[in-house]
Amino acid sequence: MSNETSKKQKRRRIFSTSGSQSGGKSVSASIHPEKVRFFRAHLLKWFKKMGRQFPWRLRECNTYQIIIAELLLQRTRASVVADFFNDFIKKYPSWQDLAFAEQADLEEFLKPVGLWKRRTAALISLARAVVTRGGELPASREELESLPAIGQYIANAVLTMCHNRREPLLDVNMARLLERFFGPRNLADIRYDSYLQELSREVLSRRSAKELNWAMIDFAALVCTARSPSHTSCPLATQCSFVSHP
């Protein structure tokens, strides 16, 4: 079994954990619904005013642009990708164009955003696989993750943006925000902890799953930052566990 396959399987296993326990209770039983409602409402309100505008944050589903953006964001800061993204879409506007790209050209083009050789090859393989499927991506997690270059996070991005599914885009920043607001926990690896996976899904409402994901990403990047969180101006402060029990 290759390393990549084994990593994917491990993440899928953790991700599919349901009903994880917190001191014997499920997440939904251990978090007060009022606190979840407060979190959603204040985050969405903040996001409407302060959320970042990125060219890949589209109202309608565009799996090509979603996946390209997420792959670029894996290696580079969002502000750098924001400048680069439109150039990429201009040069390779569709799966079809990417499928027939010269690997050496693509590597050269992707150098500024740090995508290394292996990922470039995987990107072309993915485009070819999608073209072979008639340009359509599957709608199930299992099939999505079986495609080259698509792991748990990108599958979640497609499922939440295009199929309105409550799938969290959980990374260390979102985990930090959730952990601080809902209650500190001493976890060895917070990114893949099953409690946080379940909690992050719990806070997504079906109606606003996409916006809440974006809101958490932006809020963690701009307000609840790792080194200098802005507690005094934070709209979540009155109910934040980190502030009441630092």
Residues that bind ligand SF4 (CB under 6 A): 180-181, 223-224, 229-231, 234, 236-237, 240, 242-243
Distance in angstroms (rounded) separating the CA atoms of residues 78 and 35: 30
The β-bridge partners of 26 are: 21
- Tell me 61's DSSP state: -
Distance in angstroms (rounded) separating the CA atoms of residues 35 and 31: 7
Distance in angstroms (rounded) separating the CA atoms of residues 152 and 201: 14
Shortest Å distance, C-beta 225 to ligand SF4: 8
Distance in angstroms (rounded) separating the CA atoms of residues 45 and 212: 10
User: Locate tokens 């599919």: which residue?
Assistant: 16
